[in-house]
Amino acid sequence: MIKNYLLRFTTADLVIIALLAAGGVATKPFVRLLAQVFTGSLVPIGTVAGIFYMLWIVLACLVVGKRGTAILVGIVQSVLVVVFDMLGNRGLANLLVYIVPCVVMEVVLLMFPRYVSGLFSSLTAGGVTNAAGSLIVGWLFLRLPGIPLLIATTVSFLFGGMGGILANRLYQLVKKFRETPPEEGAEAAADG
């Protein structure tokens, strides 16, 4: 079953997934620090930092364009956080914090026939994933009461959605540069 699942992905797809997942984990300490400076202790850090956390997951889904990409990103990120003993390492609970939100995202994206392709699907992907992660952390680890948990999850959806939109815009920008013929690109760079 796992073999059939992985056979849908080319080697290039798996390399892109691994690189973007690693990029998300590598930037996490810096993003976490910045989010902590701006939010203090008002909301869980991942709620606001979700803009950057979700950027990597949604970007991987946009580039690869195959269902199941988010789950693979979640697995790679979970393993990297445990192996490198990074901040926020919760041991085996990383399976919950990293993989379950990606599974939730994949289930919600079944409503979108073209997977993550447009602005709204990117917003939904980032928002749902970040909200699911925030809900898990807030409920299981921080033990937030109902109203603060609801507020954190809602804010998390908004910030995660912004990360999804940012990923979509970044993908569109890179795609536009890739489609530009070399001669036009060189002339435009010289004129600009």
User: Cβ(87)–Cβ(24) under 8 Å?
Assistant: no
Give pTM, 2 decimals.
Answer: 0.85
188 within a domain of the structure (yes/no): no
65 within a domain of the structure (yes/no): yes
190 within a domain of the structure (yes/no): no
The radius of gyration computed from the CA coordinates of the chain, to the nearest angstrom, equals 17
Q: What is the pLDDT along the chain (192 residues), one digit of tens a residue?
A: 777 888 899 999 999 999 999 999 888 888 888 877 777 666 667 777 888 989 999 999 999 999 999 999 999 998 888 888 766 667 777 778 889 999 999 999 999 999 988 999 999 999 999 999 989 988 888 888 889 889 989 999 999 999 999 999 999 999 888 777 766 555 555 555
Cα distances (angstroms) measured from residue 26 to each of 31, 52, 183 = 10, 11, 35
191 within a domain of the structure (yes/no): no
Domain that holds residue 38: 2-177
52 within a domain of the structure (yes/no): yes
182 within a domain of the structure (yes/no): no
Q: Among candidates 111, 103, 122, 109, which has minimal Cα distance to 161?
A: 122
Q: What does DSSP assign to residue 91?
A: G
Question: How high is the mean pLDDT of the chain?
Answer: 86
**Chain centroid offset of residue 166 CA:** 11
119 within a domain of the structure (yes/no): yes
The domain tally of the chain equals 1
48: CATH = 1.10.1760
44 within a domain of the structure (yes/no): yes
